[in-house]
Amino acid sequence: MRGSFPVEQFKTWSTPFYYYDLELLEHTLSRALMSVSDVSFLIHYALKANAHAQILSRVSRANLGADCVSGNEILAALAAGIAPARILFAGVGKADWEIELALQHDIACFNVESIPEIQVIGEIAARAGKTARIALRVNPNVNAHTHHYITTGLTENKFGIPLSALSAAIDTSLHYPHLSLEGIHAHIGSQIVEFSPFKDLCRVLNDLQDSMAACGIYLKHINVGGGLGINYEHPNHHPVADFEAYFRIFREHLHLREGQKLHFELGRSLVAACGTLITKVLYVKEGEQKTFAIVDAAMTDLLRPALYQAYHRIENITSVSTEARVYDVVGPVCESSDLFARDFPLATTCRGDLLALRSTGAYGEAMASGYNLRALPTSHTSEEIFHHK
Ligand SMILES: *Cc1c(COP(=O)(O)O)cnc(C)c1O
């Protein structure tokens, strides 16, 4: 089954470009919100997945919070109308100006990742005469069983405070009068489709809460990060992530205290499916063992296959052929890793055909680069088409 796209419209736009289906985005956001149901569960959108202004405005209108990893992401979230009280600031390497900016806008919480960072935020907050609310990002040593480049919760990863250093981190936090310790945070990885690691995470967090409570520390919130995966193989049959099952895990396994909030930071599962990279076939080249479909998009437009050997379903959306052949779909950049798929079955493909690389709304356009002096990809949304009608 092929996705249904406004192909005639696509033919008028220069390639490569990202196409965002904003109706699917809104549907996904409302499904996520319906599945949370619980008022103590708060979803924050991880802007790093895609900070396209129209996506952010939909996220803001749906009343989601924001999970930001840079000062510029904080500014983008504010510009989209997301309230500072719903903005979190994460990341292992926050620069001083970014901390100052976050304090100046009085954002909800800093997710802090090391003792030196706690000290720096404590000092900057004192100088600014502000209180910084912080959550300690712990490294729970839970294996997310995903690609090792997107596994973040093992002790070998750079993220979070190791459990063995947690009590020192708590002491440091309590030492600074301008810090308010409000939560604990963990994020174990991305594209997680087998949910037992989330149960392991709940178990670790329950134990942590118990031992903190024994020391008289009460937390206003727990943050379990993001990581919910999507179905990259079958985007037409499974366009929406399994939010129901995901939130149920936490409802059943995490022990929230009276009045405590549970924060989620979802990126991929909210925006991946609504994005498609459209590229034109430049040449079909017969190699000795392979047939290459050389396209005008490259790893500079969509890095995930080169970076994590990620799979994206590819469809030829203009071929009228009923025959299929296998192609290596490759870009023009001078790197062997500039390859979107190996031996991928496509309807017989010719120069000029348009290919759709599916489920590229997350970590697609956001990771684009100018390598080889290539232009950044452009983007279009379903909204533009409705305006033309
Ligand atoms: C990237 C990231 C997220 C979002 O992850 P997804 O897999 O896209 O849901 C959430 N929290 C933190 C700390 C992250 O680094």
Asked if the bond preceding 6 is cis, omega within 30° of 0, the reply is no
- In the structure, what pLDDT confidence band is assigned to residue 37 with cuts at 50, 70 and 90? confident
227 within ligand 1 shell (Cβ under 6 A): yes
Please tell me whether residues 32 and 159 are part of one structural domain.
Answer: yes
The CATH number of the domain holding residue 189 is 3.20.20.10
Please tell me whether residues 376 and 258 are part of one structural domain.
Answer: no
- Rounded to an integer, what distance in angstroms lies between the CA atom of residue 133 and that of residue 138? 16
Give the DSSP letter string of 320-387.
Answer: ----EEEEEEE-SSSSTT-EEEEEEEEE---TT-EEEE-S-TTTTGGG---GGGPPPPEEEEHHHHHH
- What pLDDT, on the 0 to 100 scale, is given for residue 141? 87
140 within ligand 1 shell (Cβ under 6 A): no
- What pLDDT, on the 0 to 100 scale, is given for residue 324? 95
> In the predicted model, what is the mean pLDDT of residues 317-334?
96
> Percent of the chain, pLDDT > 90?
90
Please tell me whether residues 116 and 216 are part of one structural domain.
Answer: yes
Separation of 140 CA from ligand 1 center, angstroms? Answer: 15
Which of 222, 252, 271 is the endpoint of a domain? 271
Separation of 291 CA from ligand 1 center, angstroms? Answer: 37
- What pLDDT, on the 0 to 100 scale, is given for residue 88? 98
Structure tokens at 48: 């790093």
pLDDT digits (tens, 9 = 90+) for 173-225: 999 999 999 999 999 999 999 999 999 999 999 999 999 999 899 999 999 99
Mention every residue, 6+ apart, whose C-beta is less than 8 A from residue 377: 16, 17, 18, 277, 297, 301, 365, 368
- What pLDDT, on the 0 to 100 scale, is given for residue 121? 98
Higher pLDDT, 289 or 150: 289
137 within ligand 1 shell (Cβ under 6 A): no
Separation of 180 CA from ligand 1 center, angstroms? Answer: 24
Please tell me whether residues 47 and 12 are part of one structural domain.
Answer: no
268 within ligand 1 shell (Cβ under 6 A): yes
DSSP H or E stretch at residue 286: strand 275-286
- Rounded to an integer, what distance in angstroms lies between the CA atom of residue 186 and that of residue 204? 10
Separation of 186 CA from ligand 1 center, angstroms? Answer: 10
The CATH number of the domain holding residue 309 is 2.40.37.10
226 within ligand 1 shell (Cβ under 6 A): yes
Separation of 48 CA from ligand 1 center, angstroms? Answer: 8
Separation of 228 CA from ligand 1 center, angstroms? Answer: 9
Which of 271, 302, 336 is the endpoint of a domain? 271
pLDDT digits (tens, 9 = 90+) for 290-299: 999 999 999 9
Q: Which residues of 134-143 are buried (b: 16+ CB within 10 A; e: fewer)?
A: bbbbbbbbbe
86 within ligand 1 shell (Cβ under 6 A): no
The 10 Å Cβ neighbour count of residue 203 is 14
- Rounded to an integer, what distance in angstroms lies between the CA atom of residue 37 and that of residue 223? 17
Please tell me whether residues 143 and 76 are part of one structural domain.
Answer: yes
> Percent of the chain, pLDDT > 70?
96
- What pLDDT, on the 0 to 100 scale, is given for residue 388? 54
Say if residue 3's pLDDT is above 60.
Answer: yes
Site of tokens 């002096």? 373
Please tell me whether residues 235 and 158 are part of one structural domain.
Answer: yes
267 within ligand 1 shell (Cβ under 6 A): yes
What's the first-to-final CA gap in the chain, in angstroms? 26
Which of 271, 294, 329 is the endpoint of a domain? 271
Say if residue 379's pLDDT is above 60.
Answer: yes
Please tell me whether residues 258 and 356 are part of one structural domain.
Answer: no
> In sequence order, what are the beta bridge partners of 350?
none
Domain count, the chain: 2
Structure tokens at 80: 């989209």
- Rounded to an integer, what distance in angstroms lies between the CA atom of residue 151 and that of residue 112? 19
pLDDT digits (tens, 9 = 90+) for 124-183: 999 999 999 999 999 988 887 767 766 666 667 778 899 999 999 999 999 999 999 999
From 94, 112, 149, 190, give the residue whose CB has the most ligand 1 atoms within 8 Å, as the site to mutate.
Answer: 190
Please tell me whether residues 255 and 301 are part of one structural domain.
Answer: no
Mention every residue, 6+ apart, whose C-beta is less than 8 A from residue 46: 67, 69, 226, 265, 266, 267
> In sequence order, what are the beta bridge partners of 289?
none
- What pLDDT, on the 0 to 100 scale, is given for residue 64? 98
> In the predicted model, what is the mean pLDDT of residues 70-89?
98
Please tell me whether residues 227 and 307 are part of one structural domain.
Answer: no
Please tell me whether residues 277 and 267 are part of one structural domain.
Answer: no
Structure tokens at 92: 């292992």
> In the predicted model, what is the mean pLDDT of residues 265-274?
98
190 within ligand 1 shell (Cβ under 6 A): yes
Please tell me whether residues 258 and 311 are part of one structural domain.
Answer: no
Site of tokens 């790893």? 299
Average pLDDT, the chain: 95
Please tell me whether residues 52 and 146 are part of one structural domain.
Answer: yes
49 within ligand 1 shell (Cβ under 6 A): yes
Query: What predicted TM-score, i.e. pTM, was given to this entire model?
Result: 0.95
- Domain extent, residue 51, equals 22-271
Position 24, amino acid: L
